[in-house]
Amino acid sequence: MKRDHNHLQPNPDPSSLRGAPSTGKAKVWDEESAQQDCGMDELLAVLGYKVKTSDMAEVARKLEQLEEVMCNVQDDGISHLASETVHYNPSDLSTWLESMLSELNPPSTFDPFGAAGTAAAALDDSFLVPAESSTLTTLDFDNINRKHQKSGQQIFEEASCSDYDLKAIPGKAIYSQKTQPQTHDSSSSSTPTNVKSEKRFKSTSGPPSPSDIFPPPPPPAAASYGIPTASTRPVVLVDSQENGIRLVHALMACAEAVQQNNLNLAEALVKQIGFLAISQAGAMRKVATYFAEALARRIYRFYPQNPLDHSFSDVLHMHFYETCPYLKFAHFTANQAILEAFEGKKRVHVIDFSMNQGMQWPALMQALALRVGGPPAFRLTGFGPPSHDNSDHLQEVGCKLAQFAKKIHVEFEYRGFVANSLADLDASMLDLRPSEVEAVAVNSVFELHKLLARPGAIDKVFSVVKQMKPELVTIVEQEANHNGPVFLDRFTESLHFYSTLFDSLEGSVSSQDKVMSEVYLGKQICNVVACEGVDRIEGHESLTQWRNRLSTAGFSPVHLGSNAFKQASMLLALFAGGDGYGVEENNGCLMLGWHNRPLIITSAWKLTNKTTAISQ
Amino acid sequence: MNYGFLSSFFQKDLFLVLGFVFECLKERGMAGSNEVNLNECKTVVPLNTWVLISSFKLAYNLLRRPDGTFNRHLAEFLDRKVPANLNPVDGVFSFDVLIDRATGLLCRIYRPATAEEPEPNIVELEKPVVGDVVPVIIFFHGGSFAHSSANSAIYDTLCRRLVGICKAVVVSVNYRRAPENRYPCAYDDGWTAFKWVNSRSWLQSQKDSKVHIYLAGDSSGGNIAHHVAARAVESGIDVLGNILLNPMFGGQERTESEMRLDGKYFVTLRDRDWYWRAFLPEGENRDHPACNPFGPNGRSLEGIKFPKSLVVVAGLDLIQDWQLAYVEGLRKAGKEVKLLYMEQATIGFYLLPNNNHFHTVMDEISEFVGSDC
């Protein structure tokens, strides 16, 4: 019987397949897999699990051990593993199993934070169960939810709710110190999700709850095997109507003409796109329009203005922040990682490369304020580009944050730096204190890719970051390859990326926010398509590429865990059209996607080798 | 039945197995209420398969709560997923399509890259298939109605294999899962996907300008395939064949295989019960026709143009009596069915290409689909 197994891996030896039974048949397969690279079991690797063949027996032993322990403890022990334990990087089976084993052994005393030295909370309903920092909303919501759990409505998980109070996340409510409920987010369609949002936003005011917060224990130092993967091009088609396809065809044809420098043809096609776009509905029309405009600029060499036009950018940024979850997800997940890294530290310093209006920080400060043992002294250094109206924009932001800090009783220090590029930064400017005295976290949300336009810039920044000796570096970037050398490839990739992004905006409730967000993204589109060289700052690169850069530069991954995942997922449900958003865990990073297409990724890093930082 | 040659493998290992069984008997005293005999199942599957399925079992135990709710966030966190990929890998590329916005129903489409078009162009994803007869396999992933997704790595891998083996386009349906979405959501989503596939002109075979549809699935996916097929033929649309891998069926009574194999090979009766309770309408028992299509509340398929079926049953699967009853039900109604009984196979044997059952089944599937030219 013929068999076409060329596509399978590894290629088994045909003679050993059939009719040649031997006692060690299982072994034959394992040996073959062992020949593959790094000694990683390749069959499991394809399925997302990283287990060295030489470790297989050990992993099996751990599984058996866990099974045994789970049989012997009562049901509580197991449910604790599910509801309270924070899981990290499930791809690394060995470490994952080990961490569960250490949670269950010894099973008698329930003290998961013995090592961390903080007292475990009593398991009281009104208390926050350790390790599960949680819901973004007030306790009211959680009570409602608990009642609904049994009735089979949308299930939002469990009884464990900590008061990691991220009320600030819904936006202006806390930050501007007014208590406006975000009613505009909650109106509209009849889906249950939206009805729930209305309930959730009812009580946005109120002092931070005095309940405990237990940041989870630091993640196990898991080695990330990092099997290099070829780049993937994920695509989701959300609009397969006839006109949509023709529009995409025309856009691609035009881009191709531009690439071939056939500008007459390109010009004709751009006009055609204009006509086709009019007959198209929804997201596709807007995306096509922006891409067409960008193509036109390229054809007519009418390049966009200096992209560092920040007064308007700020407004757009804020609307984008409100409309869709991308920035909130970024802030939220980065904050979670920072909170974990700052555990036990008395003085902390956040260096933010992406200051903007400082919207990320109230939530972190609040969580720090509610920490057991009290908040650390919190220092914030923010970077931003110069303002066009000569106002000291960064200073204003700092003042607002200082007022907020005072309100929540957190010792606060602030410094703003204006710079055209992060590459202008020098560690000496920062007044860094010894790392034993003050823990540093560096944060960058959608900023690093801008450095790729200028040769050497990213390396300079990495080297400066290392000099800061950070506990943690949090990076959020678009999951896209918009930085390749071939124009047509960049065009194609970005067309799909922004189509997906625009589609996710369609469900937004506030039309003003939506329009502003589209303009915000439209500027990025323009930059990707129409600009070149140092002006093309929207040089997004994929996670694989960032991982390579960062590990070459001397950084190692720090994993984000199941608690951050869960809370991020719950955050997403607050947004209209929430169903399409999804969070995925990938080797310790958290990805936010729309209908399974990954769009942005939060990753966290630490210095591979702290001591060498001094010499760089 | 195609299991003859496998028993020789079994005989060679008899002493090894007996030795382990002896060990197990010694250790049986320590087993708690969830009596699971790990050593036994370790002897019948390769070690990496054992590790894989045991990890799933462990994770799944954490996710199911005694009160019938499900830890969906942890489930999504733990599930290993892969994105769609326009770059062909081993000759297959994939892309996702949102086919129903109201329910958020996604399907992942897998197509073979062609020699003429080794790097698929984004505009040509829905380019017409080329060929007199191009099978289109609508695949429903397993997970007992509660677990996994179309983009789970195990199913992405399996679907890619099917493309190569059958020279087919595969459409993997990301149906809504229990317990958040009970019966009939999964079937409705299957039906929506079926109609969508059937109405794509680019999926039509050139011979007759029709879409040549096969339905396939493992575990709960196999169950869904059956029910979607029934609905299809009722609506007068042809299905060329059903491929059911370890399909999930059940019933109210306890069968011999359920009692004999309970807890022995990764699966317990208790967890099976949990999943049925999560999927079936509240208050219904396992003789509901969704679970037990040929049971007391079932319906005969006599006189209905039900497609031919290829049903794969693993000999170490505790629900095999129900699967065999299903096959019997098809036969009694005069439907064409081929049973592949894999004597020494456990659940999930088709997830890794490291055992004979895997290759046997893949060959049979290829033949089953290929025989319609």
Q: What DSSP string describes B244-288? A: EES-----SSPPHHHHHHTTTSS--HHHHHHHHHHHSPTT--TTS
Q: Is B121 on the interface with A (CB under 8 A)?
A: yes
Give the tokens for residue A497: 């990326």
Does B257 participate in catalysis according to the annotation? no
Could you report the per-residue pLDDT of A541-555, keeping only the tens digit for each?
999 999 999 999 999
Show which of A247, A266, A300 is a domain's final residue: A300
Q: A594: which strand partners?
A: A581, A597
Location of structure tokens 């007519």: A300
State the Cα–Cα distance between residues A401 and A411, nearest whole angstrom. Answer: 11
Per the rule left: phi > 0, alpha: psi between -120 and 50, beta: everything else, A14 is alpha
Given B148, B205, B219, B257, which residue is catalytic?
B219
Residue in A79, A235, A570 closest to B84 by CB: A235
A-chain CB neighbours of B108 within 8 Å are: 596
Residues 6+ apart with CB under 8 A from A195: none
Closest by CA position to B238, among listed B331, B318, B135: B135
Considering only CB atoms, A240 lies closest to which of B48, B77, B97, namely: B97
- In chain B, what's the furthest Cα-to-Cα distance? 64
Query: Which of A2, A81, A236 should one mutate to test binding to chain B, selecting the residue with the greatest count of B CBs within 10 A?
Result: A236
User: A106 preceded by cis ω (within 30°)?
Assistant: yes
Tokens of A124: 């009281």
Helix, strand, coil content of chain B in percent (nearest 5): 40, 15, 45
> Is A412 inside any structural domain?
yes
Say yes or no: A284 and A327 in one domain: no
Residue A114 has pLDDT above 80, yes or no: no
Q: Tell me: do A345 and A256 sit in the same domain.
A: no
What pLDDT sits at residue B5?
A: 52
- Please report whether residue A530 resides in a domain: no
Say how far apart CA A247 and CA A3 lie, in whole Å.
43
Q: Is a pLDDT exceeding 70 seen at residue A200?
A: no
Query: What share of chain B has pLDDT > 70, as a percent?
Result: 89
Q: How many alpha carbons lie under 13 Å from residue B186 in its C-beta half-sphere?
A: 34
Q: Which of A232, A251, A583 has the most B C-beta neighbours within 10 Å, making it the best mutation to test the interface with B? A: A232
Q: Is residue A127 part of a domain?
A: no
Which of A217-226, A378-387, B49-58 holds the top average pLDDT?
A: B49-58
Q: Of A221-235, B1-15, B310-324, B359-373, where does the model show the most confidence? A: B310-324
CB pairs under 8 A between A and B: 237
Per-residue pLDDT at A190 exceeds 60: no
Ranking A28-32, A61-65, A246-250, B23-27 by mean pLDDT, the lowest is: A28-32
Q: Is A316 or A163 the better-scoring residue by pLDDT?
A: A316
Burial (0-12, 13-18, 19+ Cβ within 10 Å), A320:
buried
Q: Which position has the higher pLDDT, A314 or B82? A: B82
Asked if B9 lies within 8 A of A25 by C-beta distance, the reply is yes
Place of tokens 């002896």: B22
The pLDDT, as a whole number, for residue B6 is 54
Q: At which of A300, A325, A348 does a domain end?
A: A300
Do A449 and A551 share a structural domain? yes
pTM: predicted TM-score of the whole model, two decimal places: 0.81
**Whether A71 and B58 lie within 8 Å, measured CB to CB:** no
What pLDDT does B24 receive?
A: 52
Bridge-based pairing state of the strands A597-607 and A472-478: antiparallel
| Predicted pLDDT of residue A312 | 73
- pLDDT at position B14 is 58
If residue B96 lies in a helix (H) or strand (E), which one and from where to where? Answer: strand B92-100
Between A291 and A187, where is the model more confident? A291
Q: What is the pLDDT of residue A118?
A: 36
Identify all chain A residues contacting B90, using CB atoms and an 8 Å cutoff: 6-7, 9
Q: How confident is the model at residue A275 (pLDDT cuts 50, 70, 90)?
A: confident
Q: A121 in helix, strand or coil?
A: coil
Chain A residue at shortest CA distance from B15: A23
Within a domain: residue A295? yes
Together in a domain, A581 and A453? yes
Cα angle vertex A417, ends A414, A423, to 5°? 135
Nearest-Cα distance to chain A for B115, in Å, is: 15
How many structural domains are present in chain A? 2
Question: To the nearest whole number, what is the mean pLDDT of chain A?
Answer: 76
Closest chain A C-alpha to B232 CA, distance in angstroms: 24
Whether A280 has a pLDDT exceeding 50, the answer reads yes
Q: Which domains does chain B have, with CATH numbers?
A: 85-371 (3.40.50.1820)
Could you give the CA distance from residue A403 to residue A346 in angstroms, rounded to a whole number?
21
* B73-108 per-position pLDDT tens digit: 999 999 999 999 999 999 999 999 999 988 999 999
**A135: pLDDT strictly greater than 50:** no
pLDDT of B33 > 60? The answer is no
Instruction: Identify the pLDDT of residue B10.
Output: 52
Asked if residue A547 and residue A418 are part of one domain, the reply reads yes
Residue A191 lies in a domain: no
Instruction: Work out the pLDDT band at B284, boundaries 50, 70, 90.
Output: very high
- Judge if A246 and A333 occupy the same domain: no
* A198 within domain boundaries: no
Q: How far apart are CA A553 and CA A254, in angstroms?
A: 39
For residue A168, what pLDDT is reported?
A: 36
Whether residue B241 has pLDDT greater than 70: yes
**Residues A370, A334: one domain?**
yes
CA distance B45 to B51: 10
Q: What is the mean pLDDT of chain B?
A: 90
Task: Report the percentage of chain A scoring pLDDT > 90.
Answer: 48
Measured CA to CA, the distance from residue A19 to residue A342 in angstroms comes to 60
Cβ contact, residue pair B77, A565, below 8 Å: yes
CB A280 within 8 A of CB A247: yes
HEC-encoded secondary structure of A224-274: CCCCCCCCCCCCEECCCCHHHHHHHHHHHHHHHHHHCCCHHHHHHHHHHHH
Q: Which of B73, B160, B352 sits opposite A43 (nearest CB)?
A: B352
Whether A415 is covered by a domain: the verdict is yes
- Residue B324 exposed, middle or buried by CB count within 10 Å (0-12, 13-18, 19+): middle
Average pLDDT over residues B35-57: 84
Co-location of A452 and A599 in the same domain: yes
Domain closes at, from A249, A278, A300? A300
Q: Is the pLDDT of residue B1 over 90?
A: no
A398 plus A352 within the same structural domain: yes
pLDDT at A276: 87
Handedness of CA A586, A590, A592, A598 (dihedral sign): negative
- B174 phi/psi in degrees, rounded to 5: -90, 65
What CATH number does residue A447 fall under?
3.40.50.150
Task: Count CA atoms closer than 13 A to A232's CA, side-chain side.
Answer: 20
Strand partners, B308: B241
Burial (CB count <10 Å: 0-12, 13-18, 19+), residue A355: buried
Q: pLDDT tens digits for A393-411?
A: 889 999 999 999 999 999 9
State the pLDDT at residue B20: 56
**If contacts are CB pairs under 8 Å, which of residues 145-184 in chain A contact chain B?**
149-150, 152, 154-155, 157-158
Q: What is the CA radius of gyration of chain B?
A: 20
* A468 pLDDT above the threshold of 60: yes
Whether residue A284 is found in the same domain as residue A367: no
Kindly indicate the confidence band of residue A148, based on its pLDDT and cuts at 50, 70 and 90: very low
> What phi and psi values does residue B84 have, to the nearest 5 degrees?
-65, 160
Alpha carbon A449 to chain centroid, angstroms: 15
**pLDDT value for A215:** 35
Q: Is the pLDDT of residue B345 over 90?
A: yes
pLDDT at A419 over 80: yes
Judge if A251 and A338 occupy the same domain.
no
User: What confidence score (pLDDT) does residue A179 get?
Assistant: 33
Please state, as a whole number, how many other Cβ atoms lie within 10 Å of the Cβ of residue B243.
Answer: 28
Q: How far is A444 from chain B (nearest CA, A)?
A: 24
Same domain as A420, residue A450:
yes
Q: What is the pLDDT of residues B160-217, one digit of tens each?
A: 999 999 999 999 999 999 999 999 999 999 999 999 999 999 999 999 999 999 999 9
Least confident among A259-273, A448-462, B106-120: B106-120
What gap in Å lies between CA A209 and CA A187, rounded to an integer?
Answer: 27
Does A583 touch chain B if contact means CB atoms closer than 8 Å?
yes
Q: Which residues of B85-117 are buried (b: 16+ CB within 10 A; e: fewer)?
A: bbebbebbbbbbbbbebebbbbbbbbbbbeeee
Q: Is A31 on the interface with B (CB under 8 A)?
A: no
The mean per-residue pLDDT over the stretch A257-268 comes to 93
- Residue B163 contacts by C-beta under 8 Å, 6 or more apart in sequence? B91, B92, B110, B111, B112, B169, B170
Least confident of A315-329, A553-567, B347-361: A315-329
Question: Which domain does A292 fall in, by range?
Answer: 239-300
The band of A336, judged by pLDDT with boundaries at 50, 70 and 90, is very high
Q: Which residues of B touch A590 (CB under 8 A)?
A: none
* Residue A290 falls inside a structural domain: yes
- The answer, for A46 touching chain B at a CB cutoff of 8 Å, is yes
| pLDDT the model gives residue B11 | 55
Whether the per-residue pLDDT at A507 is higher than 90: the answer is: no
User: Residue A195: pLDDT band by 50, 70, 90 thresholds?
Assistant: very low
Check residue A578 and give its pLDDT.
66
Instruction: Please state, in angstroms and as integers, the Cα–Cα distance from residue A97 to each residue in A65, A91, B59, following that order.
Output: 9, 11, 10
Kind plus residue range of the DSSP H or E element containing A101: helix A93-104
| Closest chain A C-alpha to B317 CA, distance in angstroms | 20
Per-residue confidence (pLDDT) for residue B12, from 0 to 100: 53
